[in-house]
């Protein structure tokens, strides 16, 4: 397995004064399902288009499998793209759409027929050969786009928010299918999305982008459990931010004084050594416990429920306490908004669930 299959070296792309991609460097492994995640305008699509060859970088270089592709036009790159709106050619049928990219590969007629047949069965579109784009549903169009790109057996498949236009149920289904498919064929996937849940559930690694820069790049688990900064922590799932000041370092741990709550020993995941520097702590809603009675946890706050929202599998509570103005927490089964008299509740936090964040 090639660990630096795709090398992105100091890539920048400026549109006028806008730095869409700002000096980004990283590597993607061969066979990896890699996601670029971020809010709209963060540069993720521009980065993908740079990989596809639709844009050329202002500076920096791109290497794929050891060869420099920075200046290659899209038709000369061993990459293929699944477009956000699928871009199925409307004037030719599904079969011709899928065949479209094979003509230039110098295959024999038999090979072309076999490849088209195989890829259509791979994406479960057998029997749709004669249909036109206008006769297909969103999910089917998405499969055609996938088949059309995969049939060329690219070294890298680029996917630009391909599930964005589908309804939730179908999207969940396609997420699983895409993941299975990728493992099955072993092609490197670079997947662009603004949906954090999608990125986390499908990817081997995720790069979170904001303002043209990579904020954090790690496995989904690491991203959720150990976000590096406020942006990532806020973007990936929901969290509560607490202001704090650092105190003495203690091996892998550090003492922090959290505003209104007191001093606690928590894991020093950022390797902070300075004393008395301002930091932000994060605690995820699902790590807290909400109850009608006081608990014996290290932190237990009395609060008042301001608002609840029922989500089916869980209920979300917005709680106000003396110490912290607004806490978001969830309860999966035991409690709902009926359980608390006059909204009175107790919120318990385990200091082990508190993590440190960089301010930027």
Partner 1 sequence: MLQTWKAFYARSDPAKAYSLLSPALILVTLAMLVPLGLMLSFSFFTQISFTEIDYSFTIQRYIDFFQKNLLVSLLIKSVKISFIVTFVTLLTAYPVCYYIAFYVKKNKMLWLVLLTLPFWTSYLLRVFSWKIILGTKGVINSSLINAGLLNEPLTFLMYSETAVIITLTHAWAAFALLPLYVSLDKIDFSLIEAARDLGLSRFETFWKITLPLSLPGIIGAILIIFIPTVGDYVTPALLGGTDGRMLSNMIQAYFGKVNNLPLGAASATIMLITVAIVTIVVSYTTKKLTQRIS
> Residues in the site for partner 1, rule: CB under 8 A?
52-54, 73-75, 79-81, 83-85, 87, 89-93, 100-101, 103-105, 132, 134, 148-149, 152
State the helix-helix crossing angle for 138-150 and 109-122, rounded to 10 degrees.
Answer: 140
- Of the pair 133, 282, the CB lying nearest partner 1 is at 133
**Min dist. Cβ of residue 91 to partner 1 (A):** 5
- Of the pair 122, 328, the CB lying nearest partner 1 is at 122
**Min dist. Cβ of residue 149 to partner 1 (A):** 8
Measured in degrees and rounded to the nearest 5, phi and psi for residue 47 equal: -60, -40
| 272: exposed, middle or buried (Cβ count in 10 Å: 0-12, 13-18, 19+) | middle
- Of the pair 78, 237, the CB lying nearest partner 1 is at 78
- Of the pair 99, 240, the CB lying nearest partner 1 is at 99
**Min dist. Cβ of residue 86 to partner 1 (A):** 8
- Of the pair 90, 127, the CB lying nearest partner 1 is at 90
288: left (phi over 0), alpha (psi -120 to 50) or beta: beta
Closest CA to 174 of 160, 158, 186, 162: 162
**Min dist. Cβ of residue 47 to partner 1 (A):** 16
**Min dist. Cβ of residue 262 to partner 1 (A):** 56
**Min dist. Cβ of residue 71 to partner 1 (A):** 15
For residues 131 and 93, is the Cβ–Cβ distance under 8 A?
Answer: yes
Measured in degrees and rounded to the nearest 5, phi and psi for residue 80 equal: -135, 155
- Of the pair 88, 125, the CB lying nearest partner 1 is at 88
Q: 66-84 burial, b for 16+ CB within 10 Å, e for fewer?
A: eeebbebeeeebebbbbbb
Which single residue is written with the structure tokens 């990125």? 199
* Residue length of the chain: 360
- Of the pair 68, 130, the CB lying nearest partner 1 is at 130
Between strands 289-291 and 253-258, the pairing is: unpaired
**Min dist. Cβ of residue 92 to partner 1 (A):** 7
For residues 116 and 99, is the Cβ–Cβ distance under 8 A?
Answer: yes
Give SS3 for 348. Answer: strand
């Amino acid at each position: 397995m090639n660990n630096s299959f795709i090398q992105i070296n100091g890539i920048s792309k400026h549109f006028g004064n806008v730095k869409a991609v700002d000096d980004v460097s990283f590597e993607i492994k061969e066979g990896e399902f890699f996601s670029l995640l971020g809010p709209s305008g963060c540069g993720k699509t521009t980065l993908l288009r740079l990989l596809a060859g639709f844009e050329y970088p202002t500076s920096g270089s791109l290497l794929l499998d050891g060869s420099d592709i920075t200046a290659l036009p899209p038709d000369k790159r061993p990459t293929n793209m699944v477009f956000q709106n699928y871009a199925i050619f409307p004037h030719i049928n599904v079969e011709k759409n899928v065949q479209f990219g094979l003509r230039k590969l110098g295959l024999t007629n038999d090979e072309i027929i076999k490849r088209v047949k195989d890829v259509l069965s791979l994406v479960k579109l057998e029997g749709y050969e004669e249909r036109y784009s206008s006769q297909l549903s969103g999910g089917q169009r998405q499969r055609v786009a996938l088949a059309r790109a995969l049939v060329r057996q690219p070294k890298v498949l680029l996917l630009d928010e391909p599930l964005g236009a589908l309804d939730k149920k179908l999207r969940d289904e396609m997420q699983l299918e895409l993941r299975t498919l990728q493992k099955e064929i072993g092609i490197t996937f670079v997947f662009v999305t603004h949906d954090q849940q999608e990125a986390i559930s499908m990817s081997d690694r995720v790069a979170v982008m904001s303002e043209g820069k990579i904020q954090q790049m790690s496995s989904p688990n690491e991203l959720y459990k150990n976000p590096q900064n406020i942006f990532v922590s806020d973007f990936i799932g929901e969290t509560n931010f607490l202001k704090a000041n650092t105190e003495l370092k203690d091996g892998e741990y550090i003492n922090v004084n959290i505003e209104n709550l007191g001093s606690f020993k928590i894991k020093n995941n950022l390797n902070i050594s300075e004393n008395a520097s301002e930091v932000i702590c994060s605690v995820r809603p699902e790590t807290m416990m909400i109850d009608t009675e006081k608990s014996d946890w290290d932190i237990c706050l009395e609060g008042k429920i301001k608002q609840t929202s029922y989500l089916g599998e869980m209920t979300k509570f917005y709680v106000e306490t003396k110490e912290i103005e607004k806490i978001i927490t969830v309860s999966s089964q035991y409690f709902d908004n009926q359980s608390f008299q006059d909204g009175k509740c107790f919120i318990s936090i385990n200091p082990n669930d508190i993590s440190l964040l960089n301010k930027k």
